[in-house]
Amino acid sequence: MSESGISRRRFLGGAAAAAAGFLIVPRNVLGGAGYAPPSETMGGALVGCGGRGPGTFGGLGKNVVRLASCDVKFLDRADNKEVYTDFRRVLERKDIDVVAIATPPHWHALITIATMQAGKDVICEKPFTRFVAEGRAVVEAERRYNRIVQVGTFGRYSAVHDKGRALIHKIMRSGLLKDCKGVHIKNGGLKVKEWSGYANATPQPVPANLDWDMYCGPSPLRPYHPHRHGGTHRGYWDYEGGGMTDMGQHHFDPVQWTYGKDDTSPVEIESFAPPAHPEVCAMWGWVELKYADGMTFVMNSGEWGKPYDRKQAREVSLSDLSEEDQKKVLAMPDPEPWPNFEEAVRTRKRTGGCAEAAHRGACIMHLANISIRVGRKIKYDPVKEQVIGDDEANRLAHQPMRAPWHL
């Protein structure tokens, strides 16, 4: 049978049924168990069709039909889906309701904002952004256009069901703990060496099926090398931030929620690392991030230098409060579970990984990388979202984009 027509057998079968007084209706039109009627399905698009693409698209929900695909690497037409190389053409389509973004992170903010401007909801891969100012721009766009945004980390969805974590969350959000002694240490699992880049890679010809200029987009237009494309793009500051941002938002997204930090950022960040390369992500030992209330997050890579040994991990507990304050915390209602992305789209309730939470989670990684890159301790204002008294570090938080792209 052709893509646009119907077979002779199906046509004759339908005609015979009509003559007998019966109407054959496809099961997906009726709905029911295992099927969603057209009124409940949504048109979806995937931007960035590489390794994480199918998984990210699956996060849109089971009742989303993929109508379009977009990638700077020219794709073959398949499954009757329209194929594009420019995401803006996808967003012009009225039949697209939701968009999954699985590009490298240097494109996340711009495509997320454009998607919301086009009146569509969006799920985006982690890390949420490439630098701090991008995240704030996405948060403002989410509020301006009243769209649903979900970052592609889901650890917080299980954290809210964990009674121990939920109790810590209530302690932290109660405002009763004035001097927090908590220390959360993440040991290993950050893929530092795996996602290190090549410092002096020899430029190579751009493959005929790749739009390299569009791939680079808002980042500098560097000479092509295959290590800058595909999963290994993580090893270059132009596109991501090494293992820190690849794995860090996964690890710290639920921790951030547990300790009630979805609306703030660390104020002091110190790292232990060798001098950083200006273009290439490389090795580092550990980063310590301290919040205004004293809570400390630590990332100990275990892959370079002397391991972190400044503080011991320490959990927050009810014993940190007076008996009276303990009773107040226990009387607080438990956190309500968040809707998943598809539920959020239908109910217009914010997801757990909404733009503000996702932005603050990404900032943990961005600030850690900034300290590594400048080679010193930095102080940060989480309200103004500025590095204090350090112009070099602040430029890494508020980076320019290559024309004509801009926030």
Per-residue pLDDT tens over the stretch 349-376: 999 889 999 999 999 999 999 999 999 9
Question: Residue 202 pLDDT more than 80?
Answer: yes
- The pLDDT confidence band at residue 39, using thresholds 50, 70 and 90, is low
User: pLDDT digits over 385-406, tens only?
Assistant: 999 999 999 999 999 999 999 9
Q: Give the length of the chain.
A: 407
Domains of the chain: 8-154 (3.40.50.720), 156-337+350-397 (no CATH)
Question: Residue 30 pLDDT more than 90?
Answer: no
pLDDT at 76: 65
Q: Whole-angstrom Cα distance, residue 233 to residue 239? A: 6
- The pLDDT confidence band at residue 314, using thresholds 50, 70 and 90, is very high
Cβ(297)–Cβ(314) below 8 Å: no
Comparing 2-16, 130-144, 149-163, 221-235, which segment has the lowest mean pLDDT? Answer: 2-16
Question: Residue 22 pLDDT more than 50?
Answer: no
Question: Residue 10 pLDDT more than 80?
Answer: no
pLDDT at 230: 92
User: pLDDT digits over 261-301, tens only?
Assistant: 999 999 999 999 999 999 999 999 999 999 999 999 999 99
Mean pLDDT over 166-190 rounds to 96
Averaged confidence pLDDT in the chain: 90
Closest CA to 95 of 118, 72, 62: 118
Structure tokens at 285: 């030992």
pLDDT at 262: 96
Mean pLDDT over 165-183 rounds to 96
Question: Residue 165 pLDDT more than 90?
Answer: yes
Helix/strand/coil (H/E/C) assignment for every residue in the chain: CCCCCCCHHHHHHHHHHHHCCCCCCCHHHHCCCCCCCHHHCEEEEEECCCCCHHHHHHCCCCCEEEEEEECCECCCCECCEEEECCHHHHHCCCCCCEEEECCCHHHHHHHHHHHHHCCCEEEECCCCCCCHHHHHHHHHHHHHHCCCEEECCCHHHHHCCCHHHHHHHHHHHHCCCCCCCCEEEEECCCCCCCCCCCCCCCCCCCCCCECHHHHHCCCCCCCCCHHHCHHHHHHECCCCCHHHHHHHHHHHHHHHHHCCCCCCCCCEEEEECCCCCCCECCCCCEEEEECCCCCEEEEECCCCCCCCCCCCCECCCHHHCCHHHHHHHHHCCCCCCCCCHHHHHHHCCCCCCCHHHHHHHHHHHHHHHHHHHHCCCEEEECCCCEECCCHHHHHHHCCCCCCCCCC
Mean pLDDT over 43-49 rounds to 96
Cβ(30)–Cβ(8) below 8 Å: no
User: pLDDT digits over 100-127, tens only?
Assistant: 999 999 999 999 999 999 999 999 999 9
Comparing 16-20, 153-157, 240-244, 268-272, which segment has the lowest mean pLDDT? Answer: 16-20
Q: Whole-angstrom Cα distance, residue 320 to residue 330? A: 14
Question: Residue 225 pLDDT more than 50?
Answer: yes
Strand order across the 296-300 sheet: 183-187, 296-300, 286-290, 268-272, 378-381, 386-387
Whether omega before 127 lies within 30 degrees of 0, making that bond cis, reads yes
pLDDT at 27: 41
Whether omega before 254 lies within 30 degrees of 0, making that bond cis, reads no
Q: Whole-angstrom Cα distance, residue 90 to residue 110? A: 14
Comparing 34-43, 161-170, 194-203, 383-392, which segment has the lowest mean pLDDT? Answer: 34-43
Q: What type of residue sits at position 375? A: G
Mean pLDDT over 120-142 rounds to 97
pLDDT at 16: 42
Closest CA to 14 of 4, 5, 24: 24
Residues 6+ apart with CB under 8 A from 209: 73, 74
Cα Dmax for the chain: 83
Q: What type of residue sits at position 193? A: K
Mean pLDDT over 9-28 rounds to 40
pLDDT at 38: 55
Structure tokens at 336: 């309500």
pLDDT at 37: 54
pLDDT at 352: 87
Q: What type of residue sits at position 166? A: A
Q: Whole-angstrom Cα distance, residue 264 to residue 88? A: 33
Question: Residue 155 pLDDT more than 90?
Answer: no
Q: Whole-angstrom Cα distance, residue 306 to residue 206? A: 41
Whole-structure pTM value: 0.89
Question: Residue 71 pLDDT more than 60?
Answer: yes
Closest CA to 293 of 257, 250, 264, 255: 264
pLDDT at 36: 54
Q: Whole-angstrom Cα distance, residue 263 to residue 285? A: 28
